[in-house]
Amino acid sequence: MTIRRRVTALVTTLVMAGGLLAVAPWAAQAAPSAPASAQTEVGVQHYCGYYDGSATVRRGSKGDAVREVQCIINYWRGRHVLTVDGDFGEKTEEWVKEFQRGWGDKDDGIVGPLTWDRMRWGV
């Protein structure tokens, strides 16, 4: 699937899910001033508002980067599967591994540059 088709599919999904996201109970955990996505020159980026960097996080990590990972995993799963608490524990690691397997990547449970790109851009 081309990047253009992926972006189009993602945009369509976001538009269709907009009404559901507005009332979803877990949506309250996202930073209130941050948009669920931001239009850029490259395409649509998923961003929860906790962290916009790309530092490597893994089991045992804590803080806003972990909150961002947890929020984005919930986005990709289409439901609240992780508590957005900023603590990268066993459950977060399991979901990151599942996400990585879905892309055919090494499922090490570590969110580094490649996993950040896939989580944010779907590429």
- The CATH number for 115's domain is 1.10.101.10
Residue-wise pLDDT for 98-117, tens only, equals 999 999 999 999 999 999 99
pLDDT at 104: 95
pLDDT at 65: 97
Domain span holding position 110: 3-121
pLDDT at 42: 44
Name the amino acid, one letter, at 87.
Answer: D
For 111, list phi and psi in degrees, rounded to 5: -95, 100
Name the amino acid, one letter, at 91.
Answer: K
Residue-wise pLDDT for 2-52, tens only, equals 666 665 665 555 545 554 444 344 444 443 333 344 433 444 567 888 999
Beta carbons within 8 Å of 101's beta carbon, 6+ residues apart: 107
Question: What's the structural domain count of the chain?
Answer: 1
